[in-house]
Amino acid sequence: MKNYKITLIKGDGIGPEIIDEAVKVLDAVSSCCGFNLTYDEALMGGIAYDITGDPLPQETITKSLNSDAVLFGAIGGEKWDALPREKRPESGLLRFRKELGVYANLRPAVVYDELINASSLKPEIIKGVDIMVVRELIGGIYFGEPKGRTADKGWNTMVYTREEIVRIAHQAFRIAQKREKRVCSIDKANVLDVSQLWRDVVTEVSAEYPDVELTHMYVDNAAMQLVLNPKQFDVMLTGNIFGDILSDEASMLCGSIGLLPSASVGEKIGVYEPIHGSAPDIAGQGIANPIATIASASMMLRYALGEIEAADKIDYAIKKVLSEGYRTGDLAQFDAKEVCSTSEIGSIIANYI
């Protein structure tokens, strides 16, 4: 029987609760699909700082690199906001991404028909929306040097090298080939030099993918078009900060950030996590929506482990839970038949498998 080693990083806030439900579902699906998962927990974020004094202990990096995939909950919380920058949970996360080399952040924004009324946009605008944001994750202004601040001045550098753009562009084009074969590359080439390079290099790489249509769009226009007519997009290719902004905006088309998974991949290992944060205000109450994390576990099976059948089973079970009207509190107002706790939703999904 195949055996996979999964590193679990539960993190802070609602992280532990939602990861527990994903594990419940993974156990159900692995036993019925004939493979085995072993889990190893690792620390990151505020809890890692509290226990070890470091938001990203070296052991977490080592464990992650030695496993087949990482399933990640969420990190952060006001409790740690006053710490010096390098001790904050977010610093741990950024270092983690860099150390693992996960340069491509894949964020699907898919509207579930079952929740079409949950969006603040009109149903006819969002019905059928299926966007994949491919965001560069370990470059750009998040990591560029020089950076720093004094009492009177602050600066960061948005920098991209050709090599960084080439590899993320290939990711976007390869993903588009399995979808509707359209890539829209986002930049601000009418103002930024770094965006001009971005546009030139993406255009060059596109020559290797004659079956994929490439268009370019300025980031301000993209922010507008996502609201005006989101169905026009298939794959959106972006740098780090533009992708941070646009993928969050895109997620809102779907009505809830409690549903959307993400994958961060590179040459070595993938990290699978919900796009929402650690929501400390509702932590420990058993009311968090575990679906985004369960959907992330499905992405992990599909992309990291190649267990397609198991991933399909999870996706089907999620859809079924939604269509039958089981909802956590965040979605209670949208065609709910029964409002459920975090662990009830997890159990129902596990049962459907």
- Asked if 161 touches ligand IPM (CB under 6 A), the answer is no
CA distance 198 to 162: 8
- Asked if 191 touches ligand IPM (CB under 6 A), the answer is yes
Please report how many Cα atoms fall inside a 13 Å half-sphere around the Cα of residue 348, on the Cβ side: 23
CA distance 9 to 73: 6
Query: Is 22 annotated among the ligand-binding residues?
Result: no
- Asked if 203 touches its own copies (CB under 8 A), the answer is no
CB atoms within 10 A of CB 98: 15
Query: Is 59 annotated among the ligand-binding residues?
Result: no
CA distance 20 to 305: 20
Q: How far is the CB of 350 from ligand IPM (least distance, A)?
A: 27
Phi-psi region of 250 (alpha: psi -120 to 50; beta: other; left: phi over 0): alpha
Q: How far is the CB of 289 from its own copies (least distance, A)?
A: 15
C-alpha to C-alpha distances, 203 to 101, 247, 344, nearest whole angstrom: 24, 22, 48
Query: Is 283 annotated among the ligand-binding residues?
Result: yes
Q: Which of 111, 134, 253, 271 binds its own copies (CB under 8 A)?
A: 253
- Using CB under 8 A, count the residues that bind its own copies: 59
Residue 142 a catalytic site member = yes
Looking at residue 123, its amino acid is: P
CA distance 178 to 223: 25
- Render 251-270 in DSSP notation, one character per residue: HHHTS-TTS-EEEEE-SS--
- Asked if 125 touches its own copies (CB under 8 A), the answer is yes
- CA 220 from chain centre, in angstroms, equals 22
Q: Which of 30, 60, 105, 251 binds its own copies (CB under 8 A)?
A: 251
Residue among 270, 220, 228, 277 nearest 248 (CA): 277
Q: Which of 38, 117, 161, 190 binds ligand IPM (CB under 6 A)?
A: 190
Residue among 263, 262, 278, 296 nearest 74 (CA): 278
Residue among 57, 26, 23 nearest 42 (CA): 57
Angle at 30 between CA 28 and CA 31, to 5 degrees: 70
Is-contact 236 131, C-beta < 8 A? yes
Residue among 291, 293, 298, 297 nearest 341 (CA): 291
- Asked if 210 touches its own copies (CB under 8 A), the answer is no
- Asked if 54 touches ligand IPM (CB under 6 A), the answer is no
- Asked if 90 touches ligand IPM (CB under 6 A), the answer is yes
- Asked if 194 touches ligand IPM (CB under 6 A), the answer is no
- Asked if 158 touches its own copies (CB under 8 A), the answer is yes
- Asked if 122 touches its own copies (CB under 8 A), the answer is yes
Q: Which of 74, 93, 134, 288 binds ligand IPM (CB under 6 A)?
A: 93
Q: Which of 8, 129, 176, 226 binds its own copies (CB under 8 A)?
A: 226
Residue 248 a catalytic site member = yes
One character per residue 161-190, x = contact with its own copies (rule: CB under 8 A):
xxx------------------------x-x
- Asked if 110 touches its own copies (CB under 8 A), the answer is no
Query: Is 280 annotated among the ligand-binding residues?
Result: yes
Q: Which residue number places its CB atom closest to ligand IPM? A: 90
One character per residue 212-241, x = contact with ligand IPM (rule: CB under 6 A):
--------x---------------------
Residue 234 a catalytic site member = no
Is-contact 71 24, C-beta < 8 A? no
Binding residues for Mg(2+): 220, 244, 248
What is the binding site for its own copies (CB under 8 A)? Answer: 85, 88, 90, 94, 120-122, 125, 141-142, 144, 146-149, 151-163, 188, 190-198, 219-221, 223-224, 226-229, 241-242, 244-249, 251-253, 257
What is the binding site for ligand IPM (CB under 6 A)? Answer: 90, 93, 190-191, 220, 244
